[in-house]
Structure 1
Amino acid sequence: MTITTDTRKPYSGNKRSLVLAFDVGTTFSGVSYAILEPNEIPKIHGVTRFPGQEHVAGSYKIPSIMYYDQDGNMKAGGAEAEGNAMVDLAEDYGWTKAELFKLRLRPQTMKLKMNGMRLPPLPKGKTAVQVFGDYLGYLFKCTKNFIIDTHAGGAALWRAVEEDLQVVLSHPNGWEGAQQTKMRRAAVYGGLIPDTDTGKARIRFVTEGEASLHACVLNGLAKEMLTGHPEHGFLVADAGGGTLDISSYAVRGTAPLVMEEIAPPDCVFAGSVFVSRRARAFLEDKLRGSKYGTPDSLEHITKRFDETTKRLFRDMKEPQYVQFGSPLDKDLSAGIRQGQLKLTGAEVAELFEPSIEAAFNSIKQQVETTGGYVKSVWLVGGFAASPWLFSQLQERLDPLGVTVSRPDNQTSKAVADGAVGFYCDHHVSARMSRFMYGVEFLREYNAEDPDHVTRQDRMCELPSGPKLLADAFDCILARGIKVKESSVFTRKYCTEVTSLSTLSVFEVEIWCYRGGTSTPMWINRHAEEFTTLCIVQADLSPLAGSAQSKPGRSGKTYWTIVFSVEIHFGLTEFKARIKWVDSVSFHPNRCSTRY
């Protein structure tokens, strides 16, 4: 990828630093980095040498797999785990292969369609966060060795920056605060950062869609947009192993380059791994009854399909072949001759179809959401290299007046490079809210409202007298609202307490509603559309000294507490806090958020 620097400013820090970007993918992963020198324009580098892959010049990606022994110790990772010798050792000693572990971090609201298959089991005694952390630690070690071995004075460079390394972790558009928290815990577990507030503050998060945007800017997208049709929006589609991440943008300024998100980003499970899963199920059915229908043979043939047929497929009218064996391998009834399994083009196209259809529908939705403002699509990511995916999206989007393009080099490392670009350049100034966010409050009971009457079992009475219904929803931010990075959404609330001791453990639950654009009246705790985004905790005991006691209707003393819930939505990482004012000072930060 040709890295252009005309949109980048010199590093403004006062001492040398290093930023590392880790792109842990469902099937393949990579790392990019930049050495930050004061007053110099940062240059982005990729880690191109990994253990077990030294013979492959300029390889930016390694498989997202590891082997663990029966005691839960990691024995090999990446390309090393794919070597024949390691596979033999794993079989001899009963090691567990960890793969597709990234998918285990997904939000519960995002459902996987695995065609009857399940995710591989986790190694003994390991959680998904720990496995993710082990892999981050492996990538971190590889990156450290690469920098030390590659740069002049590399060892001294590393010693100078290792106590203040900046880390960027990319994740699918659909990941939220809970997933970011898990990834931060994984970074601590893997040894990337210390388990301190200062250490955790060195982690930045960026969506894969936004990272891909910055990669496209590095690849010259900004120039093409500004010299072509700057009045049109564009869409970045990052097609990876697990997810397809869709993000739509518009250029809002050129000096410096400023872009805004113009539609809520989307994330669908339509990556290349699902083509492979469908192929595995298809081959199992096709070869049932054949001597090549054993689990080991199916795994081998599926792997060969991944490595050749899936990557090269471009014409459904032509027969396709999976070369998996020797000239002696033959089973005419199953379509096998001279070590090749013959498939029709239509059969292979059918394996791609659900992923292509999901990609088309997601892009079409973005085009419609922006009122046709989006006129071009940039396809990046490992799956973007598929000629069939590319041609099908071109064909299906053409009637909508949308063109599809893809960078002609190294699209597979776009996210890692773009994550460094995000850290250095920060081109996106506004984002769109994906869902509706709010809190629970108590709504005054109305005996003449049938809806209220049916909820009488949820009624409570405040010490001051009013009868109120629980589970009412108060929207703080609606879906599809453009939010600047500096935007803060605040709502003021009050509550009544009969014991000041409860102030030390005060907390507010932030709810996310995914059901549409109409604001719901009530929170349905059992519906999939409602989920807890986070819980904000605060110690409000400083208010005890200034709060005025009042006599309640029943004669019991109570205190009225006034506070505000403040939410930052315009950042790549969600933040929330509680604010309050007492008679002495203003307290905006003495709170914490947990997911």
Structure 2
Amino acid sequence: MTCAPDQWSPYSGNRRAIVLAFDVGTTFSGVSYAILEPGEIPKIHGVTRFPGQEHVAGNSKIPTIMYYDRAGNMQAAGAEAEGAAIIDLALDEHWTKAELFKLRLRPSSMKLNMNGIRLPPLPRNKGAVQVFGDFLGYLYRCTQNFIRDTHANGSGLWQAVEDDLQIVLSHPNGWEGAQQTKMRRAAVYGGLIPDTDAGKARVRFVTEGEASLHACVLNGLANEVLSNQAGHGFLVADAGGGTLDISSYAIRGTNPLVMEEIAPADCVFAGSVFVSRRAREFLEVKLSKSKYNAPETLDHITKRFDETTKRLFRDKKDLQYVLFGSPLDKDTSVGVRSGQLKLTGAEVAALFEPSIEAAVASIRYQIESTGGFVKSVWLVGGFAASPWLFSQLQERLGPLGVTVSRPDSQTSKAVADGAVGFYCDHHVSARMSKYSYGVEFLREYDPMNPDHVARRERMCELPSGPKLLADAFDCILARGVRVKESNVFTRKYCTEVTNLSTLAVFEVEVWCYRGGDAIPQWIQRGQENFSTLCVVQADLSPLAGAAQSKPGKAGRSYWTIVFSVEIHFGLTEFKARIKWVDNSTTKAVNAPRKMT
């Protein structure tokens, strides 16, 4: 597919360029790109030909799977890895199948319920970042070959721009700076960019929710809201293989098109893969006393369920059949006849129910967070093709006065197309902070405050005399705050040191609190709601020359150092830095040295 929206501006660069958008999904992946010609409106193209899929015209998605040999070398990927010859060879050679590896990059704060089934093991000598990088590298090579083969003078075009290719990587709404850092490392490992500051700067990130928003604009789903922007807000629900990403927006202008996020984005593990996992667990129990209870057979029946029943299911009143064997397969005690497993509609509906409940709960929360301003839900992503998911969201959200719609075009490639749209002409001018961000500071001890008295074992004394309590949380940016791309959130601090040599390695931890809207008074170390987001290091030793010592208690000299901590998000990437003044000159360390 090729598309060029009316809302876009001509490319303002002075030389030809290419932007590649990689959508590595939990179960399926795709690539879109645009050739940027100076003065021309960009057009989005999709990579529609992959090895092993040449017979499927226009297919823009491949399975997110790979096979590794026993030495840890990738031997097959994507559609090729599902070919009968590869599967047979993998069994003979004892290859390891890598799948669902994207879920291993998730933040530790996002708990994963696999219904008793563990994530598949990683290949030998490979971590999750390396496996992710291998798959990125595979998609990159496929894209390179596709552009060379399908464009006039494609080889010359690629050669002219390959040293400055712009990369957009999409990720779930719930991923943060640490996951972006891992994805950048994976891009280096996969050969997309060199391991240099300039190379890493060529990678941008966009949430899957925001990429899907741009896709909705591209395919016209937004036209009704755009024509009546004062009427209500809208919500984009990207239902993929692993996550459901929920984002709410309002129109702030139409020429040019400008939108703002109006509630903190949400991300829940409620994608289609969890329906499959529940099906596998259900089948294991249902067929436990039959000859079909072997793991390989259960895997095969689950795969057939994925390919047919899960995709087509639309009415829990109808019987459902999973065709998995030959006409000779029969065991009426478990519902098998003529190679088909009979299931009731209620049994299949129950496999969907936890994902549907999670989707409805998340959407309801967004609606409530906006005071009922959201009236439209746009459902996109591979799981959006499910008639049952679509009808249930319509039925359960209808009483709230919310309409649910989905584009007629292929919803599964929305993220890749939208990621290109984000790069070319991003429409979102402001976002809502998802969590509270701040730093640890020392709070003055109040002997009349019971809370302070209970924490007196954490009390310390500054060289100048005041008694202070450690572990206090000072919020720099609270949850639910409207953040424009140009906004910088700053707080000024001072510290006292008794040894100037400690300024050479000056560190500040930036903390993230995920526990809700209320700002906590104290950092609860070891609790799930609190985590270190990054550590910023700076060499403040040049300040030693101008610092003036002061007499402290017990005759000890000390120096007062003043600095600021800044937080900003740029487009969709978190950054923090330390600023200080040295001889009337403002200096700063601009990027986190460590993302956790």
Q: TM-score range by the shorter chain?
A: over 0.9
Matches within 5 A, 1:423-462: 423-462=423-462
Shift of residue 570 of structure 1?
5.3
Matches within 5 A, 1:99-498: 99-228=99-228, 230-498=230-498
Q: Are the equivalent residues in 2 in contact too, given 1:538–1:590 (CA < 8 A)?
A: no
Q: How far apart in 1 are the matches of 2:532 and 2:219? A: 39
Q: Are the equivalent residues in 2 in contact too, given 1:433–1:569 (CA < 8 A)?
A: no
Go from structure 1 to structure 2 and tell me whether the alpha carbon gap of 1:280 and 1:432 turns closer, same or farther (over 3 Å shift).
Answer: same
Q: Are the equivalent residues in 1 in contact too, given 2:2–2:44 (CA < 8 A)?
A: no
1:40 alignment partner, SS class: coil
Q: How far apart in 1 are the matches of 2:285 and 2:516? A: 40
Go from structure 1 to structure 2 and tell me whether the alpha carbon gap of 1:364 and 1:590 turns closer, same or farther (over 3 Å shift).
Answer: closer
1:124-169 CA distances to partner (integer Å, 9 max, x unpaired)?
Answer: 1110000000000010010001001110101100110011000000
Shift of residue 223 of structure 1?
2.5
Q: Are the equivalent residues in 1 in contact too, given 2:463–2:553 (CA < 8 A)?
A: yes
Partner of 2:47: 47
Which stretch of structure 1 is more off in the superposition, 364-373 or 546-555? 546-555
2:144 alignment partner, SS class: helix
Q: How far apart in 2 are the matches of 1:91 and 1:535? A: 46
Shift of residue 228 of structure 1?
4.0
Q: Are the equivalent residues in 1 in contact too, given 2:260–2:431 (CA < 8 A)?
A: yes
TM-score by length of 1: 0.99
Q: Are the equivalent residues in 2 in contact too, given 1:539–1:590 (CA < 8 A)?
A: no
2:168 alignment partner, SS class: strand
Q: Are the equivalent residues in 2 in contact too, given 1:31–1:143 (CA < 8 A)?
A: yes
Q: Are the equivalent residues in 2 in contact too, given 1:483–1:570 (CA < 8 A)?
A: no
1:106-139 CA distances to partner (integer Å, 9 max, x unpaired)?
Answer: 0001011111110001111110000000000010
Go from structure 1 to structure 2 and tell me whether the alpha carbon gap of 1:125 and 1:2 turns closer, same or farther (over 3 Å shift).
Answer: closer
Partner of 1:511: 511
Shift of residue 517 of structure 1?
1.4
Shift of residue 231 of structure 1?
2.1
Q: Are the equivalent residues in 1 in contact too, given 2:379–2:404 (CA < 8 A)?
A: yes
Amino acid of the structure 1 residue aligned with 2:135: Y
1:300-325 CA distances to partner (integer Å, 9 max, x unpaired)?
Answer: 00000000000000010000000011
Amino acid of the structure 2 residue aligned with 1:303: K
2:90 alignment partner, SS class: helix
Q: Are the equivalent residues in 1 in contact too, given 2:465–2:552 (CA < 8 A)?
A: yes
Shift of residue 222 of structure 1?
3.6
Q: Are the equivalent residues in 1 in contact too, given 2:575–2:591 (CA < 8 A)?
A: no
Q: Are the equivalent residues in 2 in contact too, given 1:4–1:220 (CA < 8 A)?
A: no
Amino acid of the structure 1 residue aligned with 2:59: S
Go from structure 1 to structure 2 and tell me whether the alpha carbon gap of 1:555 and 1:590 turns closer, same or farther (over 3 Å shift).
Answer: farther
Amino acid of the structure 2 residue aligned with 1:393: L
Q: How far apart in 2 are the matches of 1:570 and 1:358? A: 30
Q: How far apart in 2 are the matches of 1:300 and 1:230? A: 51
Q: How far apart in 2 are the matches of 1:301 and 1:73? A: 30
2:555 alignment partner, SS class: coil
Which stretch of structure 1 is more off in the superposition, 348-357 or 493-502? 493-502
Q: How far apart in 1 are the matches of 2:152 and 2:502? A: 59
Go from structure 1 to structure 2 and tell me whether the alpha carbon gap of 1:145 and 1:155 turns closer, same or farther (over 3 Å shift).
Answer: same
Q: Are the equivalent residues in 1 in contact too, given 2:550–2:559 (CA < 8 A)?
A: yes
Shift of residue 467 of structure 1?
0.9
Which stretch of structure 1 is more off in the superposition, 549-558 or 342-351? 549-558
Partner of 1:531: 531
Q: How far apart in 2 are the matches of 1:277 and 1:384? A: 18
Q: How far apart in 2 are the matches of 1:25 and 1:251? A: 29
1:172-220 CA distances to partner (integer Å, 9 max, x unpaired)?
Answer: 0000000000000000000000000000000000000000000000011
Q: Are the equivalent residues in 1 in contact too, given 2:18–2:161 (CA < 8 A)?
A: yes
Q: Are the equivalent residues in 1 in contact too, given 2:219–2:409 (CA < 8 A)?
A: no
1:195 alignment partner, SS class: coil
Shift of residue 591 of structure 1?
5.6
Which stretch of structure 1 is more off in the superposition, 401-410 or 582-591? 582-591
Q: How far apart in 2 are the matches of 1:544 and 1:557? A: 13
Amino acid of the structure 2 residue aligned with 1:137: G
2:250 alignment partner, SS class: strand
Go from structure 1 to structure 2 and tell me whether the alpha carbon gap of 1:591 and 1:541 turns closer, same or farther (over 3 Å shift).
Answer: farther
Partner of 1:37: 37
Q: How far apart in 1 are the matches of 2:35 and 2:2? A: 18
1:472 alignment partner, SS class: strand
1:388 alignment partner, SS class: helix
Q: How far apart in 2 are the matches of 1:22 and 1:4? A: 19
Which blocks of at least 5 consecutive residues in structure 2 are unaligned? none
Amino acid of the structure 2 residue aligned with 1:189: Y
Shift of residue 590 of structure 1?
5.7
1:83-119 CA distances to partner (integer Å, 9 max, x unpaired)?
Answer: 0100011100110000000000000010111111100
Q: Are the equivalent residues in 1 in contact too, given 2:576–2:590 (CA < 8 A)?
A: no
Shift of residue 571 of structure 1?
2.8
Q: Are the equivalent residues in 2 in contact too, given 1:538–1:592 (CA < 8 A)?
A: no
Q: Are the equivalent residues in 1 in contact too, given 2:2–2:43 (CA < 8 A)?
A: no
Q: Are the equivalent residues in 2 in contact too, given 1:287–1:293 (CA < 8 A)?
A: yes
Q: Are the equivalent residues in 1 in contact too, given 2:52–2:79 (CA < 8 A)?
A: yes
Q: Are the equivalent residues in 2 in contact too, given 1:246–1:362 (CA < 8 A)?
A: yes
Q: Are the equivalent residues in 2 in contact too, given 1:2–1:218 (CA < 8 A)?
A: no
Shift of residue 29 of structure 1?
0.2
Q: How far apart in 1 are the matches of 2:430 and 2:517? A: 20
TM-score by length of 2: 0.99
Shift of residue 497 of structure 1?
1.1
1:292 alignment partner, SS class: coil
Q: How far apart in 1 are the matches of 2:547 and 2:209? A: 48
Q: How far apart in 2 are the matches of 1:72 and 1:462? A: 54
Q: Are the equivalent residues in 2 in contact too, given 1:472–1:522 (CA < 8 A)?
A: yes
Amino acid of the structure 2 residue aligned with 1:200: K
Partner of 2:593: 593
Amino acid of the structure 1 residue aligned with 2:358: A
Q: Are the equivalent residues in 2 in contact too, given 1:262–1:432 (CA < 8 A)?
A: yes
Amino acid of the structure 2 residue aligned with 1:166: Q
Q: Are the equivalent residues in 1 in contact too, given 2:221–2:407 (CA < 8 A)?
A: no
Shift of residue 555 of structure 1?
1.4
Q: How far apart in 2 are the matches of 1:584 and 1:523? A: 34
1:402-429 CA distances to partner (integer Å, 9 max, x unpaired)?
Answer: 0000001111000000000000011000
Go from structure 1 to structure 2 and tell me whether the alpha carbon gap of 1:201 and 1:189 turns closer, same or farther (over 3 Å shift).
Answer: same
Shift of residue 593 of structure 1?
3.3
Q: Are the equivalent residues in 2 in contact too, given 1:431–1:570 (CA < 8 A)?
A: no
Amino acid of the structure 2 residue aligned with 1:349: A
Q: How far apart in 2 are the matches of 1:433 and 1:386? A: 31
Q: How many equivalent pairs are there?
A: 595
Amino acid of the structure 2 residue aligned with 1:580: W
